[in-house]
Structure 1
Amino acid sequence: MPKRTKFLSRNPEKPSPRDRFWAVLANTPRLVQLVWQAAPRLLLLQLGITLSNALIPVAQLYISKLIVDQVVLELSQPGVDWTVLGRLVGLGLGITLAQVGLNQAETYTTQVLNDRFTLYANQILLKQAIRLDLAHYELPEFYDTLNRAQQSGSAYPVRVFETLIDLAGQSITFAGLLSLLVAFNPLLLLLLLLTSMPALWVGIRFSGVRFWLKRRQTESGRLAEYLQQVLTTQEFVKEVRLFNLGDYLLRQWQSIRLQFNREMAEVLARNAWLRFGVGLIANSGFYAAYAWVIVRTVQGAISLGDLTMYSGAFQQAQGLIQGILFQIALIYEFNLYVSQYFEFLNLQPQVVSPSDPIAFPNPMRRGLELRDVSFRYPGASEPTLHRINLTVKPGESIALVGMNGAGKTTLLKLLTRFYDVESGEITIDGIPLTAFDLEDLRRNVGVVFQDFSRYHLSVQDNIGFGDLRHRDDLDQIERAAQNAGATGVIADLERGYETILGKTFSDSAELSGGQWQKLGLARAFMTPAQVLILDEPTAALDAIAEYDLFQRFRQLTQDKMTFLVSHRFSTVRMADRIVVLEHGQIAELGSHAELMEMGGKYAQMFRLQASSYAGVAE
């Protein structure tokens, strides 16, 4: 049975700053690999563009120095040699044009890379969602984890990689400037570094505060999204209007969003004051260095060209130091969000196929057996099923009855291995269910639940999904529709099997509950399963339509083992045997006649329902 794992904890313990820092380093190789898998050629191209661009600022500064020095030289002698100046200006123009081209190329590669990775990251996330157990989807903590992964996974990994590339480019540019500045005065460079360091502390601190604020807001944010869905989707629109819920729900949504805005505004205000303070420190360091360059120029120690080059170099160096430190803070922040994507990818299904599966028996010989089967939902204090023992022969029809919560649907979920039993064993022909490949098992155990899916796709899809291998086999789809009594419904649709259902898309048609149910049953008749389970599949049909359907159903499934759940005893009595569940245990077992003769729980429920019909007739 799937267990509540540590990464689904409702209130995860907030790690220390040191632990978070090392977690960032641990995430980075995996993140780089993920982005590389999405678009390796684009990454190499973007890296080459960034590194080329990084060399341009140093070259521009040096060309500017040469131009200023050449101008001073020309002013000091008669006549002007325009050739040298022209070449220097032309060289500067060429470098600038190259920078413009590289910037445009970088913009293009960044956008294309973002698009490709967004597609790849969402594909990985959806694949992970498909492979996870049903139990995950019944835990609120799972939806918090999924929501955070959806918000973080598509953008932040690329942002980290782009930031790493930018950091590499800035480091190369800084190394070039460093070669200029060290020759002038290493102490001034140290001054610029020390006055820029507070920006790193502020960046990391603010990143952590903002991240944990958003993480705490996850569940409330999902509530706001749900309220927005209630206010804007067809499923709720009738009751929202009928009970005048619109203004009330809107106020609830607005309250959550306003609270989020207030909390973020407080964080942003504190950060603005801190950044103002570190900005004062950084600018003080730059102007101290700038003043010293001016002093050395006035003293005649360096030329005017040197003044231009060094002042520009100091200004750019300080900007680069702050930029490098800011990029490090961004990498830290983005990795915090990326960790939420990996948190989802780290979830592991507990119900898995064995490494060496056994083929499902075809045909079944001995049938199905449950031996002392008990099951408890994750987090539940009491078991839903307790020591269930039942043997079902091939071709036998079993009806499950009992009060709501007796365990009927849970028992059926165990037969399809949506969950694994807590204790006991379920076997087919003496082979445990856990020995079969999951796809093979579920191909042979077909289910139509009461809350069956209504796909807002074509009629052909809604039926063909019962067996994807024959989704394009219209003859088989038509037979399934006929067996489910759905041909009349489809004949009334303008485009027949190509009709799009629901109200989500244009040129679509909506069906009644009973019509949807017939399509759901047709989907079940598509399956080649040897075991067919119908869990309240006809709740939206009237009694006559349900009776006719089950008469046809019995004829079409004579060679199949069938389980059905229904609250209508006129249908239940057609089963070979009836299992009465009470408090998670089998209270009674037998045919309709045998159970009526026993005069127990089943007989009491049957007579109670029959008397209500008699009262209507009277």
Structure 2
Amino acid sequence: MLSAFEKRVHPYPDEPPRPLPSGFFAFLWEATRGLRPYIAAMTFFTALIGVFEAALFGMLGNVVDWLSRSSPETLWRDERGNLLLLAAILAASPVVIALQTLLKHQTLAANFPMLLRWKFHRLMLSQSMSFYQDEFAGRVATKVMQTALAVRDVWMILADILVFVVIYFVTMVSLVGGFDAVLLLPFLGWLGLYVAAMCYYVPRLGKVGQQQADARSLMTGRVTDAYTNIATVKLFSHAQREAGFARGAMQEFIQSAYAQMRLVTSFEIVNHLLGMVLIAATAGAALWLWTQGQVGVGAVAAATAMALRLNGISHWVMWEFASLFEHVGTVQDGLRTLSRPLAITDRADAVPLQVPRGEIRFERVGFGYGGQRRVIDELTLTIRPGEKIGLVGRSGAGKSTIVNLLLRFYDVESGRVLIDGQDIAGVTQDSLRAHVGMVTQDTSLLHRSVRDNVLYGRPDADDAQMIAAAQRAEAHEFILGLTDPKGRSGYDAHVGERGVKLSGGQRQRIAIARVMLKDAPILLLDEATSALDSEVESAIQRSLYRLMEGKTVVAIAHRLSTIAAMDRLIVLDKGRIVEEGDHRSLLARGGLYARLWAHQSGGFLGEEDGDEAADARDELPAAAPLKPAA
């Protein structure tokens, strides 16, 4: 039976997640999609439980009255119908409670937040590259995790706890009023004062809760950032600096915690004082009415018991309300990130890309990362099927931007990019990137096994194909010698976060093996061999040349000697093509390429000086200094 209720909700639906609204209540409502019938059923059973528990005190009063007016010999005869009804209610209550708790704890408690995490994570995976350049990865992960739990808890409090309390109080007041209207006065007076206290404390707790949620995600983001870049931290001996950086966020978090606990302490004192006043006033009024002969002993017992019970519940409700507003703050903090519109989306009529030839065409493309100065300015370029071109230019000339636009990490601001005559803005992103293989200078591996990282290029490949790709990338030999602390070895050894357990050259060779296995018709190389020593680089270059056969290739290199053998070199300056041709013809022309070749130091392009350097830096808008330009 438990399993049946657990399987009522599928936490990993296949359909694409819908964009999340930015409004708080709309966000909460959208989060319940697929769960609303179960939340409604749980709420219904919760209301029945509230009625039952409050009615028990009325039954207690009735039992006292029955005992006071009947002898043991006549009790069954006089009150048989009432006793049978009481027994039936008591027998039915476990069924209601069982259904309520099965829905709450089996159907919703685990499935609700997991379903939200699944949706949130898929939405975050669809966010653009610019989104992640402006966010801590740890901060995003924290918001995905804690917002999912907060949404569930908000609904649990609203649909379960608050419904129970409201129904419970209404039933209780109705029963007390049935004894005598005077007994209503202590309860209604307490309610007014309790609501006033809630109106004062709860919004303040909610505001502090929101500040705390933001401070928690910032703290987690800073700590995670240090761990992610631990090699840099140690290289510059900045462990204390990073500790101080995290301490600033920790101090902000603990100050919000202090503020929260101050409010909680004063609320607890006020709440207890109100409870004592309620008990004293109810017991006093009930005894006074009894002395006047207006109520029986059962009414005194029931009213006093209800006041005692309500005092206990009030502490629980206080904490639940405080928790509610803390969760509300967490949701409000999280939805600002989670509901951010996707910058790059597939059109409704997007179709899969078909690449029978591999021709790439840029038609009057303009782009500037949202800034006034364009990094790419009216670029027109045709790369023939199977042609190998090299992009050359100083830093800031727009080389990497061209690659980013081709991959549609960003949408062009003017013009269009076509592959085999198909505008890439009209095809699905997945199909576009499935036809492109890329090896970058900054190789990042997943914190998984070598096997998983190589097969990332083509998950359906078998071991023989995987090993063949690793051999072509000159990686197979060193992979066989890898081990990890858990005793895994070879292709099963884990490489650490971002591949930290491997050298730069080893990471690069695994990345190349991954692209070789993918075998896409379009190949992009961005400093693909920069992390390799000369001997290995020579072997990899031979493998890359084999990989390039029959493919359209776009290569970027600051070391011009690595791309001098390309079919055509495209020389860029300030986002425009200023020269093109092969290596020999460009040297003979004596233009920018010849000057770059002559000015190389150790085979690399030199940095720009004076006004030229300032012009290159101006290529990027001041508002987005971290956006890639080349």
TM-score, with normalisation over the residues of structure 1? 0.81
Question: CA 1:111–1:611 in 2, change beyond 3 Å: closer, same or farther?
Answer: closer
User: Hey, what does 2:622 align to over in structure 1?
Assistant: none
The answer to whether the 8 Å contact 1:457/1:501 transfers is yes
Structure 1 position 577 matched with structure 2 position 549: no
Using the TM superposition, give the Cα deviation of residue 529 of structure 1 relative to its aligned residue in structure 2, in angstroms: 2.1
The whole-number CA distance in structure 2 between the counterparts of 1:146 and 1:510 is: 23
The whole-number CA distance in structure 2 between the counterparts of 1:244 and 1:438 is: 42
How many residues are treated as equivalent by the alignment? 580
Aligned partner of 1:127 among 103, 112, 122:
122
Aligned partner of 2:502 among 511, 521, 525:
511
The answer to whether the 8 Å contact 1:386/1:585 transfers is yes
Aligned partner of 2:366 among 358, 362, 374:
374
Pairing of 1:206-221 with structure 2 (within 5 A)? 206-216=201-211, 221=216
The whole-number CA distance in structure 1 between the counterparts of 2:279 and 2:388 is: 86
Question: CA 1:206–1:589 in 2, change beyond 3 Å: closer, same or farther?
Answer: farther
The whole-number CA distance in structure 2 between the counterparts of 1:96 and 1:250 is: 59
Using the TM superposition, give the Cα deviation of residue 530 of structure 1 relative to its aligned residue in structure 2, in angstroms: 1.8
User: Hey, what does 1:14 align to over in structure 2?
Assistant: none
Question: CA 1:449–1:26 in 2, change beyond 3 Å: closer, same or farther?
Answer: same
Pairing of 1:149-164 with structure 2 (within 5 A)? 149-164=144-159
Superimposed CA distance per residue, residues 214-247 of structure 1 (whole angstroms, 9 cap, x where no aligned partner): 54566654553244336656x51x5655655334
The whole-number CA distance in structure 2 between the counterparts of 1:143 and 1:383 is: 32
The whole-number CA distance in structure 2 between the counterparts of 1:509 and 1:258 is: 31
Structure 1 position 58 matched with structure 2 position 54: yes
The answer to whether the 8 Å contact 1:396/1:561 transfers is yes
TM-score, with normalisation over the residues of structure 2? 0.79
Using the TM superposition, give the Cα deviation of residue 159 of structure 1 relative to its aligned residue in structure 2, in angstroms: 3.8
The whole-number CA distance in structure 2 between the counterparts of 1:491 and 1:318 is: 69
The answer to whether the 8 Å contact 1:224/1:257 transfers is yes
Using the TM superposition, give the Cα deviation of residue 568 of structure 1 relative to its aligned residue in structure 2, in angstroms: 2.1
The whole-number CA distance in structure 2 between the counterparts of 1:67 and 1:359 is: 75
The answer to whether the 8 Å contact 1:402/1:580 transfers is yes
Pairing of 1:436-585 with structure 2 (within 5 A)? 436-468=427-459, 470-471=460-461, 473-493=462-482, 498-503=491-496, 510-585=501-576
Question: CA 1:190–1:422 in 2, change beyond 3 Å: closer, same or farther?
Answer: farther
Structure 1 position 308 matched with structure 2 position 298: no
The whole-number CA distance in structure 1 between the counterparts of 2:217 and 2:314 is: 40
The whole-number CA distance in structure 1 between the counterparts of 2:324 and 2:26 is: 12
The answer to whether the 8 Å contact 1:199/1:275 transfers is no
Question: CA 1:190–1:408 in 2, change beyond 3 Å: closer, same or farther?
Answer: farther
Question: CA 1:585–1:562 in 2, change beyond 3 Å: closer, same or farther?
Answer: same
The answer to whether the 8 Å contact 1:54/1:170 transfers is yes
Pairing of 1:82-481 with structure 2 (within 5 A)? 110-112=104-106, 113-140=108-135, 147-186=142-181, 188-189=183-184, 192-216=187-211, 221-229=216-224, 235-236=229-230, 240=233, 244-270=237-263, 272-273=265-266, 276-277=269-270, 280-281=273-274, 283-316=276-309, 334-358=327-351, 360-364=353-357, 367-378=359-370, 380-468=371-459, 470-471=460-461, 473-481=462-470
Question: CA 1:262–1:59 in 2, change beyond 3 Å: closer, same or farther?
Answer: same
The whole-number CA distance in structure 2 between the counterparts of 1:510 and 1:123 is: 30
The whole-number CA distance in structure 2 between the counterparts of 1:612 and 1:414 is: 28
Using the TM superposition, give the Cα deviation of residue 31 of structure 1 relative to its aligned residue in structure 2, in angstroms: 4.1
What SS class does the counterpart of residue 220 from structure 2 fall into? Answer: helix
Using the TM superposition, give the Cα deviation of residue 172 of structure 1 relative to its aligned residue in structure 2, in angstroms: 3.0
The whole-number CA distance in structure 2 between the counterparts of 1:57 and 1:554 is: 79
Q: Percent identity over the alignment? A: 24
The whole-number CA distance in structure 2 between the counterparts of 1:321 and 1:223 is: 34
Using the TM superposition, give the Cα deviation of residue 524 of structure 1 relative to its aligned residue in structure 2, in angstroms: 0.9
Question: CA 1:31–1:334 in 2, change beyond 3 Å: closer, same or farther?
Answer: farther
The answer to whether the 8 Å contact 1:579/1:590 transfers is yes
Using the TM superposition, give the Cα deviation of residue 573 of structure 1 relative to its aligned residue in structure 2, in angstroms: 0.4
Name structure 2 gaps, 5 residues minimum: 1-18, 605-630
The answer to whether the 8 Å contact 2:571/2:578 transfers is yes
Question: CA 1:254–1:111 in 2, change beyond 3 Å: closer, same or farther?
Answer: farther
Structure 1 position 599 matched with structure 2 position 590: yes
| Greater Cα shift, 240-249 or 596-605 | 240-249
Superimposed CA distance per residue, residues 456-478 of structure 1 (whole angstroms, 9 cap, x where no aligned partner): 2222221111123x24x223222
The whole-number CA distance in structure 2 between the counterparts of 1:491 and 1:372 is: 49
The whole-number CA distance in structure 1 between the counterparts of 2:543 and 2:180 is: 95
The answer to whether the 8 Å contact 1:370/1:389 transfers is yes
Question: CA 1:362–1:247 in 2, change beyond 3 Å: closer, same or farther?
Answer: closer
Using the TM superposition, give the Cα deviation of residue 400 of structure 1 relative to its aligned residue in structure 2, in angstroms: 1.5
Superimposed CA distance per residue, residues 43-102 of structure 1 (whole angstroms, 9 cap, x where no aligned partner): 57744653443233334323322443344346xx7x876878999999989978987897
The answer to whether the 8 Å contact 2:560/2:603 transfers is no
CA RMSD of aligned residues (A): 4.0
The answer to whether the 8 Å contact 1:24/1:336 transfers is no
Question: CA 1:304–1:216 in 2, change beyond 3 Å: closer, same or farther?
Answer: closer
Superimposed CA distance per residue, residues 490-511 of structure 1 (whole angstroms, 9 cap, x where no aligned partner): 3434777642222469xx9932
Q: Which amino acid is the alignment partner of residue 421 of structure 1?
A: V
Using the TM superposition, give the Cα deviation of residue 122 of structure 1 relative to its aligned residue in structure 2, in angstroms: 1.0
The answer to whether the 8 Å contact 2:153/2:324 transfers is no
The whole-number CA distance in structure 2 between the counterparts of 1:188 and 1:66 is: 17
The whole-number CA distance in structure 2 between the counterparts of 1:304 and 1:68 is: 7
What SS class does the counterpart of residue 349 from structure 1 fall into? Answer: coil
The answer to whether the 8 Å contact 1:211/1:336 transfers is yes
Q: Which amino acid is the alignment partner of residue 551 of structure 1?
A: R
The answer to whether the 8 Å contact 1:462/1:523 transfers is yes
Using the TM superposition, give the Cα deviation of residue 248 of structure 1 relative to its aligned residue in structure 2, in angstroms: 4.1
